[in-house]
Chains A and B, each alone.
Chain A
Amino acid sequence: MANKLIVSLSPHVHNNDSVQRNMYGVLIALIPALLVSLIYFGVGAAIVTLTSVVACVFFEWAITKFILKREKNTILDGSAIITGVLLAFNVPSNLPVWIIIIGALVAIGIGKMTFGGLGCNPFNPALVGRVFLLISFPVQMTSWPKIGQLTSYIDAETAATPLSLMKQAVHGDTSALEQLPSAFELFIGANGGSLGEVSALALLIGLVYMLWRRIITWHIPVSILATVFIFAGLMHLADPVMYASPVVHLFTGGLMLGAIFMATDYVTSPMTHKGMIIYGVCIGFLTVVIRNFGAYPEGMSFAILIMNAFTPLINNYCKPKRFGEGKKK
C-alpha cells in the first residue's frame, strides 16, 4: 500500500478547465453567426467554411508530422478549427476554393506553425491569412455577394457593402450614406459582407455565451466597441454627411467579429486587465482611423494585427496591481 502513494507538490486539485474546453467553447459561441451566414449566403457559406476548416486542420497536422516531426499532434485541441472558422468568416462567401486553401496555408503555416504552434504565435493566424489574401487577391476579396442567393457560390451576384458606401461618402459622395440599410437591418445582419461578420446580433449572442462560460473577460470587446462608438460618434457630430453614425459603424463590417472573436485571441492579446483595455482602445481608434481616412474600407484586421505587435510591449509595462501596493502607510 504505502509504496504506491503519489507524492507531488500542492495544489492537489484542479478546476478541470482545459485548453479543449476553452477552444470548443469559442466554437460553440461561433455557431449563431455560422447559422446566420448559412441563412443569408446558403451553399457558398457552407463550402467556404468547410474548405477553410478542413484545410487548416490538414495543414496543422501535416506540418506537425512532416516538418516539425513532433510525435504528438495537436489538431484535436480545437485551435486549428477556430482558425479555419474565423478565416472563413472573414472572406466573401463566393471566394474560390483554391484561394481559401492558400489562405489556410498562410494562416496555419506562416501565422502559427512557423513560430512553434499553439501559444507561440505573435499574430492572430486567421488574420494573417485574411490580410495575405486581401493584398494578394484584392478583386476576389472585395466583391461581396448580395444576401439571399442560397444556391449560388462563385456565380453569386455581388453588390456594394455598407462599408464601401461609407467610404464613398468620405470621398465626397453626399448621397452615399442615405443608401445605407437601417440600423436594425445591420444589427440582424441583412446586408452584404464577409460571411461571418454580417449579424451583430449573432455575434453578441456568442459574446454573452463566452462571458457566461468565463472563456474571455469583458475588457477587450467592450473597450473596442466603446472606443469606436465614441470616436466615430464625435466624427459624425462634426460632419454627418461625410461620416456615418456610430451605430452604423458598430454594426457593419468586421468590427463585432473582430472585437469579440479575433482581438480576444488568448495568445496574441495582453495578459492584464489594464493592458487589455489599452489594447482594446487602440484597436478601436485605429479601426475608425482606417475606415474614415485610410485606403481600405475596413480597418479591423489591420488594427488588430498592429496591436498584436504591441502586445509584448504592453505586457512588459502593464503589470497587475501588486497586493499592498500604494497602500503603504
Chain B
Amino acid sequence: MKTFRIGGVHPAENKLSAGKAIQTLGLPKQAVFPLSQHIGAPAIAVVKRGDMVKVGTKIAEAGGFVSAPIYSSVSGKVSKIDTVVDASGYRKPAIYIDVEGDEWEDSIDRTTDLVRECSLSPEEIVAKIKEAGVVGMGGACFPTHVKLCPPPGAKAECVIINGVECEPYLTADHRLMLEKTEEILVGVTLLMKAVKVTKAYIGIESNKPDAIKCMTEKAQAYPGIEVVPLKVKYPQGGEKQLIDAVIRRQVPAPPAIPINVGAVVQNVGTAFAVYEAVMKNKPLFERIVTVTGKSLKNPSNFLTRMGTPMSQLIEAAGGMPEDTGKLIGGGPMMGKALVSAEVPICKGSSGVLLMNDKEASRAEVQPCIRCAKCVSACPMGLEPFLLATLSAHREWERVEKEDVMSCIECGSCQFTCPSHRPMLDYIRQGKGTVGGIIRARNAKK
C-alpha cells in the first residue's frame, strides 16, 4: 500500500466518533464571525450595526486576492462589530449577529437533489468558488481559488483530493465521504475542470475501509477519478506528504509549492464546499465539526453553522466533563489549545477535542540522549534536535542553513521524543525568526 517515503509516526487513532452519523446542530443565539478566517488579508466588513441579514448574506468581502469573503450563517440583526478571542488566542475583529428566525437567501438551492451537469467554463467555476468564500477545509484555510489559478509557467497535471484525515480523533471528513459521496465526486470533477486536467486521485487511509469502498464504487461513474488507499501514517494529510504518497513526486524546499510538481491538492471537505458553491449557489457558511474526547459522554459529528460557539457543540455532545484539562481546536497533533469554549466555529474548525487533566499536561523534560528518534520521525528529512538546540541558542544563521523553513510543524519529532523535549516550541520560534529575516532580506533587494 502506498505511503510517503520519509519519516512519519503512528499515533493512537482514537476515532471515537467514526460510527456517528452527521447530526445537524441547532441554531446559536448569537453567531460571531471573525474577519480573519483564512490565510491572507482579513476580510472587510460590508454590514454595519443594526443591519438585517439572512442566511447566505455576504457580510464581509475579500480584502485582496489572497483572501476570501465571509457570509452570514444565520438570519438576524448585526448587533455589533467588535473583537473576539479566536482559536489563536488573540483578539481579532469580528461581526456579531443576534439570531432571529432562519430565513435563507432566495438564490440558494436548499434541496438535497444531486446536480451533476455543469455548463460553466473553468474561469466561471473559479469565479464562483472565489465568490462563495471557499477556503481549504482541512485546517490551513488557504483560499481555494488561489490554488486554482496556477502562477505563470506552472501547469497543473492532476488534482489530488485529501481524504486522509490522519489526525487522531477527527472523523468529520470520514463521515462526509460516507454520507456525501456523490456530492464530493461532482465537486472533484468541478475542480478538475477548473484547472483543466483529466485526472484526479482521492487519497484515503486504510483505517477507513468503508469510505474507500463507498468512494471507489461511486467513482466508477466519474471518468478520471481514482481512489488511492494509503497506509496509515501521520502526517499523510500534509500536502507534500500526500503528493509524495499518491504520485511519487516530492515538492522541493520552499518557496516551491505543489503546483511546481503539477499537483493541486484539495481536501474532501473543500470538494464538497465547491460542489455546494457551484451547483447549489450556496456560499461557505456551514461545515462538519467533530466533537470528541475520551471523557466526553457522546462524541459526535455535527453539521454546524459558522460562528456557533464551541460550548454549544460540547453541550450537544453531552456537556463539558468535570476533568477537562485542555480544549483543542482541531486534532491533537496540530490543533490549537483554546483559551475558552466561547471561541466561534470558523471555516477551518475541523474538530473540538477535550482532553482530561491527565492527558493535558506535558511530562517532565529530560536531557537529550541523542537517540535520533526525532530524525527518523521527521517527514521532511530534517534534524529536529539540531534545529531546536540552535533555535534555543538563537543561532539564526545556522538555523536557516539547516532548512528550518521546510518544517511543516507536524509535531512528529516531539511526539516521539523519549526525553519529552519541547522541540517544536523552539523550532517554531526559529522558523518565525528566520522567516522574518528572509522577508526583510527580500524587501531590501
Contact = CB atoms under 8 A, between A and B. Distances in A.
- Which residue, A10, A77, A266, has most C-beta atoms of chain B within 10 A? A10
17 contacts: A5-B327, A5-B338, A6-B337, A6-B361, A12-B335, A17-B416, A22-B369, A77-B366, A117-B367, A119-B369, A269-B370, A271-B370, A273-B376, A322-B382, A322-B406, A323-B379, A324-B406
Interface string A292-329: 00000000000000000000000000011111110111
A314 B412 CA distance: 24
Contacts of A271: 370, 372, 375, 383, 385
A126 to B, nearest CB: 15
A8 B362 contact: yes
B428 interface: yes
A13 B424 contact: no
Contact of B369 (A9, A19, A321): A19
B59 interface: no
B150 interface: no
B108 interface: no
A6 B326 contact: yes
Interface in B2-61: 6, 9, 11-12
Contact of B338 (A7, A21, A273, A325): A7
Interface in A255-286: 266-267, 269-273
Nearest to B425: A9
Contact of B419 (A4, A19, A117, A329): A19
B89 A7 contact: yes
B252 A324 contact: yes
A323 B272 CA distance: 30
Given A320-B375, A322-B381, A11 B418 contact: no
Contacts of A150: none
A7 B324 CA distance: 12
A11 B326 CA distance: 12
B372 A18 contact: no
Contacts of B89: 7
Contacts of A8: 326, 337, 362
A232 B24 CA distance: 72
Interface of B: 6, 9, 11-12, 89, 168, 240, 244, 249-253, 256, 260-261, 320, 324-328, 332-342, 353, 355, 359-363, 366-373, 375-376, 378-383, 385, 403, 406, 409, 411-412, 414-420, 422, 424-425, 428
A22 B418 contact: yes
Contacts of B12: 13
Contacts of B336: 10
A83 to B, nearest CB: 13
Contacts of A319: 383
Contact of A2 (B341, B355, B380, B418): B341
Given A272-B383, A325-B253, 20 more contacts: A2-B339, A7-B338, A9-B424, A10-B335, A10-B336, A11-B333, A12-B326, A12-B355, A14-B414, A15-B415, A18-B366, A18-B420, A22-B418, A119-B369, A267-B370, A271-B372, A271-B385, A323-B244, A324-B256, A325-B252
A116 to B, nearest CB: 8
Contacts, number: 167
Nearest to A3: B340
Contacts of B409: 10
Contacts of A135: none
Contact of A5 (B253, B324, B359, B425): B324
Nearest to A116: B367
Contact of A13 (B320, B338, B359, B366): B359
Nearest to B5: A323
Interface in A84-122: 117-120
B256 to A, nearest CB: 7
A119 B411 contact: no
A325 B251 CA distance: 9
A139 interface: no
B424 A10 contact: yes
A267 B371 CA distance: 7
Interface residues of A, number: 43
Nearest to B248: A327
B367 A22 contact: no
Q: Which 3 A-B pairs have the closest CB atoms?
A: A11-B411, A119-B367, A324-B252
A56 to B, nearest CB: 17
The B interface is mostly helix, strand or loop, or mixed, namely loop
A15 B234 CA distance: 13
A271 B368 CA distance: 12
B337 A9 contact: yes
A123 to B, nearest CB: 13
B380 A323 contact: yes
B339 A21 contact: no
Contact of B339 (A7, A13, A17, A119): A7
A1 interface: yes
A327 B249 contact: yes
A322 B253 contact: yes
Nearest to B375: A271
Given A19-B369, A272-B372, A322 B333 contact: no
B414 A5 contact: no
B383 A120 contact: no
Nearest to B409: A10
A152 interface: no
A217 interface: yes
A272 B376 CA distance: 8
B85 to A, nearest CB: 11
Contacts of B371: 22, 266
Contacts of A7: 89, 326, 337-339
B86 to A, nearest CB: 13
Contact of A118 (B168, B367, B381, B420): B367
Contact of A120 (B260, B367, B379): B367
Given A11-B333, A271-B375, A319-B383, A5 B325 contact: yes
B383 A320 contact: yes
Given A322-B382, A324-B256, A329 B261 contact: yes
A321 B7 CA distance: 11
B372 A13 contact: no
Contact of A12 (B244, B249, B328, B366): B328
Given A2-B340, A13-B332, A271-B375, A321 B9 contact: no
Contacts of A2: 339-342
B340 A5 contact: yes
B50 to A, nearest CB: 31
Contact of A217 (B320, B332, B376): B376
A5 B336 CA distance: 12
B240 to A, nearest CB: 6
A323 B245 CA distance: 12
B402 to A, nearest CB: 8
Contact of A18 (B9, B337, B418): B418
B252 A328 contact: yes
Nearest to A328: B252
Nearest to B4: A323
A22 B6 CA distance: 23
